[in-house]
Structure 1
Amino acid sequence: MNIIQNKTRPIFPFTAIVGQEEMKLALILNVIDPKIGGVMIMGDRGTGKSTTIRAIADLLPEIEVVSEDMFNSHVSDYDLMSDSIKQKVANSLNISTEFIKVPMIDLPLGATEDRLCGTIDIEKALNEGIKTFEPGLLAKANRGILYVDEVNLLDDHLVDILLDSAASGWNTVEREGISVRHPARFVLVGSGNPEEGELRPQLLDRFGMHAEIRTVKDPSLRVKIVEQRTKFDQDPYSCLEEFQNEQKKLKDRIILAQQHLNHVTIDYDLKVKISRICGILDVDGLRGDIVTNRAAKAFAAYQNKDEVDVIDIKQVITLCLRHRLRKDPLDTIDSGAKVSQVVNEVLC
């Protein structure tokens, strides 16, 4: 009788992914600073969108959570703590913790609002006076990554809920006057194929970044990608071992950047130039300005710098602004040429 080893299913190493630098950078920056607001990845089928997203989640260090807590509550950060844990802290009760992998939650296309937000057992609440909450995907995604494949095919109402939770960091469920609120701080990653339609401009604007990926045309690069994937499929554990050092280096670099982020500064003149670029490009609202400032600081922290410079802004600004230029739902998203032209004029 064969004994199946209790091993987790191996994930393709992030550092083994060839090309798609724009997508990889957007994911890394959102992991360094989740307040950037997530990333929308649009590109051809079969370009490794799902593989890359799962790989970044697998790369991240484990997080400490309160044991047997359905919301992955933080033991000391109030913004990442459920009400029941806050009460225990207030009453000085003993709280046990454990380390888990960063949650990576998939939202299926056919998901309902209850599946996403969670449900309250009204009958139990009315008859027994007990508030029973069945957590949804937003609860499970707290302090992790929530991935929506084909987000452009998702019901607009669910997209609104997702984006509201991602922006506020909280999810509130109300039924018959009974309310449950819990932390829902996650990196929202959406992906889709432009051929199947774009998101409405109003919804697209709510994503912090927009990365475009295309099928690799260079034959030698295509061969390299195929060989890398074949090697992993044949012997995943030796492939993981091969990239072990690179994975550790990148993980350490991300942790360092997360710790260093609050110490990074951006000069007032550069902030003015970012806002000037947004003004020239006729970007609606101030999300573009805010996200570009955040992303530039995250990139500077990733480079282990104390201050943002022009190079940092140039590296991230197209990712932050290109999807905010589309006013008409029938227009296509700018490839970045328009943003680059204005950036080169202002940040010369």
Structure 2
Amino acid sequence: MEVSLTLWVLTILGLTALIAVDFFIGRKPHDVSIKEAGIWTVVWIVLAALFGIGLLIFGTSQASGEFFAGFITEKSLSVDNLFVFILIMAKFSVPSQLQQRVLLFGVLIALVLRAIFIAAGAAVIANFSWVFYIFGAFLIYTAWKLIQEARSGDEEEEFEENRLLKSVEKKFGVADRYHGTKLFIREHGKKIMTPLLVVMLAIGMTDILFAMDSIPAIFGLTQDPYIVFTANAFALMGLRQLYFLIGGLLKKLVHLSYGLSVILGFIGVKLVLHALHENGVHVPEISIPVSLAVICGVLIITTITSLVAVKRQAAAEASSKDSIDA
């Protein structure tokens, strides 16, 4: 889809306005209720849907389909990332009323990092078509790794700070407690960071790892930088509210890793087929409607099987407890 500079500017200004509204709403530290999180989660999803419909009306059906496929993929990967966010919040004992502020700035950092990755990825793809082989192989490898981790039950129970974050903490120093929404304070005449800034940096740095699989995944669905960027933006901007809405339900999505591995593996195969096609090899290519159907189908199936598995486990535990009591 041909995108003019004017449309790019208007889109960025529109997204900036939405981010400003989001910041205005969450500017005052408070405990986010399920009702508030639910309302704003619906608002962000509706805005994304309206944007996709706008692409259909004023653009092309291809662009609209690519946006929805990319948005759903990025949103599902973001849900998986919430597991790590929960670990980070627990690691640094973030007060509940400050968590929404941490997530807001974490999402802003993520948006900037994604924009850089998208620009770099688009430039590489435009000049080197063979990079699709690398992207495809990486996604297939990531899918296999997810399956292995899910089968072994080898999931991290605690967030570990990386060397870069530790070096930043050592250089600037960190206060021993939170000071509201302050990022820096003066202690003994020296300016030091507060734990709040450390948590924000931790979430921002973690998103670099998240982008390693999500950016190649969406480039496997579309090579249009405009759609890649907007799909990522809409997927990330509702992440803060989604955290509070389904934070307690994440443990019930026990098969999510399997579903994501299937999606990443599917897109990896799609990328390899596309690379072969670009190099003159006559192979079938997977269309966007098929991709969208596979992605939605996998997510629906894994959600249903997860809930069934959790229900059965709860019933088995209850039965076992009754037997012991008897």
TM-score by length of 2: 0.24
Decide which structure has greater strand share: 1
TM-score by length of 1: 0.23
Decide which structure has greater helix share: 2
